[in-house]
Amino acid sequence: MTDELQARDKMTVEAEGEQTKAGPVFVPAVDIYESEEALTLVADMPGVNKENLTIDLKENTLTIKGGVPPSEDLGKVLYREYEEGDYYRQFTLSELIDQGGITAALKDGVLTLSLPKIKPAQPRRIEITS
Amino acid sequence: MTILRWTPRQLAMRAPWRELDRMRRHMEGMYDALSQGVETVRHGGAGVYPLLNLCEDTDNLYLTAELPGIAPADLELSVHGESVTLRGERKIPDADKSVNYHRREREAGIFRRVVSLPVRVDQDAAKASFKDGVLKVILPKAAEAKARQINIQAE
């Protein structure tokens, strides 16, 4: 893959209810893929660390929230091409997820979330003893 | 609100340019006061990945960029006098062939961007750090670019 990356502005969350904290909230770019056993979600959240990340699964709604601590003051801004802000995104899952088996990893600003599916009940053959 | 000093008309007419100059300075002062705290974002930047923020204080320039998912080993940074070159590659490991995608918004690819700096920097003293997908480069200003403070000696 030698495509050149394109500069893109971060997408802000369309206001759904008021935020208590001032500043923009962004929608992280995600990849979601599904295998037989699990659903995997990969999200770009630069600036988010482990302490400021919350992942919440309620019924079939998955919510990802990433807080970006305000950056230190670096003096006079000469130019600003991107803004810093929190991340927020919500998904509705159609599969049943094994809540106990969810694993999350955060590395270099990328969250990888693995959501194992609940295995469908296996048909069981019942032996009949005479 | 600034209150302009009232000047007798005669005096003002004697030095009209000086008076205009004074007005201009007042207007600039007002404009600066109004625009303070309002930061404008250059959307899309220069159209080249990655988007950058550049700040300065008296001693350093600070360049920051969001580069999620890029391993520091895949990032190449070089400083040369008044410019910084940032090259690298964002790799997204291909998932297993058996998977099906629901969403694919993240992109992979190479990037190369050169940034012109407003002043010369000390290239040997430049430092860079990478944390949580955010790159921060500290570029100390070259000695000749720093504002020199002159001590006034009492006689």
Taking only the tens place, the pLDDT of each residue in B56-115 is 998 999 999 999 999 899 999 999 888 999 999 998 887 777 888 888 899 999 999 999
| Gap from B39 CA to chain A (nearest CA, Å) | 8
Chain B closest-CA separation from residue A124 CA (Å): 27
Taking CB atoms and an 8 Å cutoff, what residues of chain A touch B44?
7-9, 81
**B107–A33 CB contact, under 8 Å:** no
Contact between chains at B109 and A7 (C-beta distance less than 8 A): no
- Interface ipTM: 0.81
Residue pair A89/A14 in contact (Cβ under 8 Å)? The answer is no
Q: What is the pTM of this model?
A: 0.76
- Tens-digit pLDDT profile for residues A21-66: 677 889 999 999 998 888 999 999 999 999 999 999 888 889 999 9
Q: Please give the pLDDT value at position A4.
A: 83
Minimal CA separation from B53 to chain A, in Å:
5
User: Residue A45 is nearest to which of B49, B68, B118, comparing CB atoms?
Assistant: B68
Residue B94 pLDDT = 74
Q: Is A83 on the interface with B (CB under 8 A)?
A: yes
Share of chain B above pLDDT 90, in %: 43
CA angle A4, A10, A13 (to 5 degrees): 150
